[in-house]
Amino acid sequence: MKQRAIFILPLIVFCIIGFYLAKGLTLDPKKMPSMLDGKPVPTFSLPPIKGRDNNGFSQNHLLDKVALVNIFGSWCVACRIEHPFLMQLSELSNTPIHGINWREENPDSGPEWLKRHGDPYEFVGDDPRSKAAIAFGVTGAPETFLVDQEGIIRYKHVGPLDLQTWRGILWPLIQKLSHKNIPRGTL
């Protein structure tokens, strides 16, 4: 009997492996975890992009209000798809949207792109060398972070933002966070 058990062992091992292989088919190995959820925004300080004379974009701009931080670039096709929705959002909602203009080889391309497609952003920082992008753990554009009034990252959305995500996830989350109403901004 003991002898038999040894002969069944390979089959058992294979069943375990097979189970995981089957499960693996339903998973996306390229999907990255969101590491910074619930953590404070990283320290970063970006210079302004051309044509915007305010003082760039840094973590200090994220300390009084629930806000969205959007990573975009003129080279990014998906950002082009996302952009009209951001424009709409900036008009209809009072949640500020900030931009990180990521990895422009030519410093003019970002501003030109915004001129052509509209500019939904309150603050925009220029990030040609991925300083802020890496600090945020960005892997591709577009990505959007929801940051609460205490400067804590609450949600990370990978890919173009759309109405569905906004209604389903972001808006309820913003509602919840706003009710906490901690007057951190006065500090």
Partner 1 sequence: MRISILTIAFSALLLADSLAVEPSEILDDPRHESRARELSKALRCVVCQNQSIDDSDAALARDMRILVRERITAGDSNEEVLDYVVLRYGDFVLLKPPFKKTTLVLWLGPILMFGMALLGALLFFRRQKSATSLMKCDPSAELDETERKRLNALLGGQKK
Partner 2 sequence: MTAELGLFALTLAFAVALVQSTFPIIGATKNYISWITLAGPTAITQFVLVALAFGCLTKLYITSDFSVLNVVQNSNTSMPLLYKVSGVWGNHEGSLLLWVLILALYGAAVALFGQNLPPALRARVLSVQAMIAIGFYLFILLTSNPFERVFPPPPDGRELNPLLQDPGLAFHPPMLYMGYVGFSMAFSFAIAALVEGRVDAAWARWVRPWTLAAWCFLTGGIVLGSWWAYYELGWGGWWFWDPVENASFMPWLAGTALLHSCTVVEKRDALKSWTILLAIITFSLSLLGTFLVRSGVLTSVHAFATDPERGVFILALLIVVIGGSLSLFAWRGPQLKTTGLFQPISREGALLFNNLCMTTATATVLLGTLYPLFVDAVGGDKVSVGPPFFNSVFIPLMIPMIFAMAIGPLLNWKRGDLFGALGRLKLVGISSLIVTGATWAWHNDGPVFATLALGLSAWLGLGTLVELAGRIKLFVPGAGSWARVCRLTRASWGMTLGHMGLAISIAGMAGAGGWTQESIQTMKPGDTIKLSGYDFTFKGVHQRKGANFTSAVGTFVVHKNGIYVTNLSAEKRNYPVGKMQTTEAAIHTTLGGDLYAVIGDHDGNDGAYVTRLYFNPLVVWMWIGAIVMVLGGVLSLSDRRYRIGAPRQSRHGHAKELEAKSMI
From the list 105, 89, 98, the residue with the least C-alpha distance to 58 is 98
The residue range among 57-65, 86-94, 137-145, 165-173 that interacts with partner 1, by the rule CB under 8 A, is: 137-145
The mark string for 28-47 relative to partner 2 (x by CB under 8 A, - otherwise) is -xxxxx--------------
- For partner 1, the closer of residues 47 and 140 by Cβ is 140
12 contacts partner 1 (rule: CB under 8 A): no
Q: Which of 12, 16, 77, 134 binds partner 1 (CB under 8 A)?
A: 134
The residue range among 114-122, 128-136, 163-171, 179-187 that interacts with partner 1, by the rule CB under 8 A, is: 128-136
- For partner 2, the closer of residues 3 and 186 by Cβ is 3
Cβ(146)–Cβ(155) below 8 Å = yes
- Cβ neighbours of residue 76 under 8 Å, at least 6 residues apart? 102, 141, 142
Residue 34 DSSP SS3 = coil
What is the spatial distance between Cα 148 and Cα 174, in angstroms, rounded to a whole number?
A: 8
Q: What is the DSSP letter of 38?
A: T
Beta bridge partner(s), residue 134: none
182 contacts partner 2 (rule: CB under 8 A): no
What is the spatial distance between Cα 88 and Cα 91, in angstroms, rounded to a whole number?
A: 5
8 contacts partner 2 (rule: CB under 8 A): yes
The mark string for 83-112 relative to partner 1 (x by CB under 8 A, - otherwise) is --------------------x---------
Q: Which does 129 bind (CB under 5 to 8 A by kind): partner 2, partner 1, none?
A: partner 1
The end-to-end CA distance of the chain, in Å, is 74
Block residue for tokens 């759309």: 162
Please report, as a single letter, which amino acid is at residue 74: S
11 contacts partner 2 (rule: CB under 8 A): yes
Instruction: Transcribe 71-114 into DSSP letters.
Output: EE-TT-HHHHHHHHHHHHHHHH--S-EEEEEE--SSTTHHHHHH
Enumerate binding residues for partner 2 (CB under 8 A).
3-4, 7-8, 10-11, 14-15, 17-18, 20-25, 27, 29-33
Enumerate binding residues for partner 1 (CB under 8 A).
32-33, 35-36, 39, 42, 103, 129-131, 133-137, 139-140
